[in-house]
């Protein structure tokens, strides 16, 4: 006769809604932090593409906003203001870091292409193909 395994009973978890509207808004923001930061970063990039402000000025401004938001996140107690600053900081980090990463990957691809072209040229010269 097959043995019947009893599954352990999981504890009952009851989620309590935060009491005040500020606490509920803060919980909502925390749950959607990365999504909202990505939307904000996308809006900034689209603004940059449409308006064409100075690249240097835009980069300096994004870094300054990132530093100010990071400073605020470290100084504030948990709450709505800190959650908003966290979203702004993540968005600014995306705006600053992603172009650098893409630029470095394009540079790496360019260097690899040059190395491959030189290798093909050397092989072709060596074997007179």
Q: Give the integer Cα–Cα distance in Å for 32 and 26.
A: 10
Q: Would residue 13 count as lying in a domain?
A: no
Q: Give the pLDDT of residue 3.
A: 60
Q: Would residue 69 count as lying in a domain?
A: yes
Q: Give the integer Cα–Cα distance in Å for 129 and 126.
A: 8
Q: Would residue 4 count as lying in a domain?
A: no
Q: Give the pLDDT of residue 129.
A: 59
Q: 91 or 127, which is more confident?
A: 91
Q: Would residue 26 count as lying in a domain?
A: yes
Domain count of the fold of the chain: 1
30 contacts 81 by C-beta, under 8 angstroms: no
Per-residue pLDDT of 81-123, as tens digits, reads 999 999 999 999 999 988 888 888 888 999 999 999 999 999 9
The answer to whether the pTM exceeds 0.75 is no
Per-residue pLDDT of 59-80, as tens digits, reads 889 999 999 999 999 999 988 9
**pLDDT reading at 4 higher than 90:** no
Q: Would residue 5 count as lying in a domain?
A: no
What is the span of the domain harbouring residue 105? Answer: 21-127
């Amino acid at each position: 006769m097959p043995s019947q395994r009893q599954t352990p009973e999981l504890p009952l978890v009851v989620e309590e809604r935060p009491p005040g509207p500020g606490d509920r808004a803060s919980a909502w923001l925390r749950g959607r932090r990365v999504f909202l930061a990505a939307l904000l970063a996308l809006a900034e990039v689209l603004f940059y593409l449409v308006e064409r402000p100075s690249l240097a000025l835009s980069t300096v401004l994004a870094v300054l906003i990132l530093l100010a938001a990071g400073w605020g996140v470290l100084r504030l107690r948990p709450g709505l203001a800190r959650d908003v600053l966290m979203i702004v900081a993540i968005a600014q980090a995306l705006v600053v870091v992603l172009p650098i990463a893409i630029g470095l990957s394009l540079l790496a691809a360019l260097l690899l292409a040059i190395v491959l072209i030189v290798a093909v040229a050397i092989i072709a010269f060596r074997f007179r193909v």
